[in-house]
Amino acid sequence: MANYSVKKYTSKDRALWQSFLLNTKNATFLFHRDFMEYHSDRFEDHSLLIFKNEKVVGILPANISRKTLYTHQGLTYGGLLLNEKAKLKEVVEIFKNLLQWLDENKIKKLQLKVIPSIYNLLPSDEMDYLLFIVRAAMIRVDVLSVIDKQRPLKIASNRLEGVKKGQKNNLKVVEGNDFEPFWNTILIPNLALRHAAMPVHSAVEITQLANYFPKNILQFNVYKENEIVGGATIFETENVAHMQYISANEDKQQLGTLDFLFEYLINQRFKEKRYFDFGTSNENNGRNINEGLLYWKECFGARSISQSFYEVKTANYKKLESVFI
């Protein structure tokens, strides 16, 4: 009979963690320790490794706060990461033992933000089913605007007008690893003015992360002559090009800055990528949508998929003991 155990991650487990990521069916570079630990001062890491007969069969990137475990508040998505060979029955055992360990260690709640299916390398929706079995409460749903490049829709005429403006104004897209011009000249001033907010990543942090992941974190700046007028930061994974940051100066409508940029990104630079993910247009913890932003994304042919957030009572692990009949 298989013997399962759970262990809290420490720095001594780094090589084991990184090695496991190489053969998962639902992990991206966001779960590498170099990415997770850039903001270690903001979150109390409480990541877990699940073993079966002393072999790692699952890992959970996580942080803890007030006796609730989160997967992980510093990441866009998260959950139980599984080996590509994992079958449903084994996943049931992994999740049951994980919840039981949390309950025995007086961690009474687990909050998960499910990994959107477009990021999975193989079918990996086991958690959707198991969260139903343990009676998890759905606490939030976000809507992501995604283009499926295998079934692309035509770009709307109003977006094409913007592309033509960009061409007429001789705009130029420059790909590189210099994040400061976009951060300091465009992104930070716009977020401060319109939302009284700051980017999640500072210019120093995003530069550091891009140095760790040069094939995954990419910057595209738009110039009119020698002046930066807009840009976008893309997080690229095996299946997806994800829009992490986007902003342009006040002349974006007259110049066609963002239409010009994204027509290039979607139809040229990331032409071969399966999905282009514009991300969410949600506000107020998912309960509202920025209609203008959503409309702009959908004009490029994006359509909606959902990302769900759940809260689980760890004591409900017992409900997983009678799944199979």
> Within the chain, which residues score under 50 in pLDDT?
none
Report residue 10: phi and psi, to 5°: -130, 170
138 shares a domain with 67: yes
161 shares a domain with 97: no
Pairing type for strands 137-148 and 68-71 reads unpaired
The answer to whether residue 176 sits within a structural domain is yes
313 shares a domain with 253: no
Which residues, in sequence order, are CB contacts of 47 under 8 Å at separation 6+? 8, 9, 17, 36, 59, 60, 61, 62, 63, 72
207 shares a domain with 114: no
Residue 1's pLDDT is what?
A: 62
In the beta sheet, which residues pair with residue 140? 309
Burial of 44 (0-12, 13-18, 19+ CB in 10 A): exposed
The answer to whether residue 216 sits within a structural domain is yes
In the beta sheet, which residues pair with residue 81? 59
Cα–Cα distance measured from residue 34 to residue 40, given in angstroms and rounded to the nearest whole number: 10
Q: Give the helix ranges, DSSP H, for 154-225.
A: 157-168, 180-181, 188-195, 203-212
Residue 193's pLDDT is what?
A: 87
213 shares a domain with 244: yes
The answer to whether residue 221 sits within a structural domain is yes
When divided into structural domains, the chain yields a total of 2
Polymer length of the chain:
325
CATH number at residue 69: 3.40.630.30
124 shares a domain with 241: no
45 shares a domain with 88: yes
256 shares a domain with 232: yes
Taking a C-beta distance cutoff of 8 angstroms, is the pair 311, 137 a contact? yes
The answer to whether residue 31 sits within a structural domain is yes
In the beta sheet, which residues pair with residue 305? 144
Report residue 286: phi and psi, to 5°: 90, -10
The answer to whether residue 297 sits within a structural domain is no
267: DSSP letter: I
156 shares a domain with 133: no
Cα–Cα distance measured from residue 89 to residue 130, given in angstroms and rounded to the nearest whole number: 11
* The three-state (H, E, C) secondary structure of 79-133, written as one string: CCEEECCCCHHHHHHHHHHHHHHHHHCCCCEEEEECCCHHHCCCCCCHHHHHHHH
38 shares a domain with 112: yes
51 shares a domain with 166: no
The answer to whether residue 113 sits within a structural domain is yes
- Which range of residues forms the domain containing residue 108? 4-142+307-322
Which amino acid is located at 215 in the chain?
K
Cα–Cα distance measured from residue 235 to residue 28, given in angstroms and rounded to the nearest whole number: 10
320: DSSP letter: G
The answer to whether residue 281 sits within a structural domain is no
25 shares a domain with 134: yes
Taking a C-beta distance cutoff of 8 angstroms, is the pair 94, 80 a contact? yes
The answer to whether residue 299 sits within a structural domain is no
Residue 197's pLDDT is what?
A: 86
Cα–Cα distance measured from residue 229 to residue 231, given in angstroms and rounded to the nearest whole number: 7
Residue 235's pLDDT is what?
A: 98
Cα 234 to chain centroid distance, Å, stands at 11
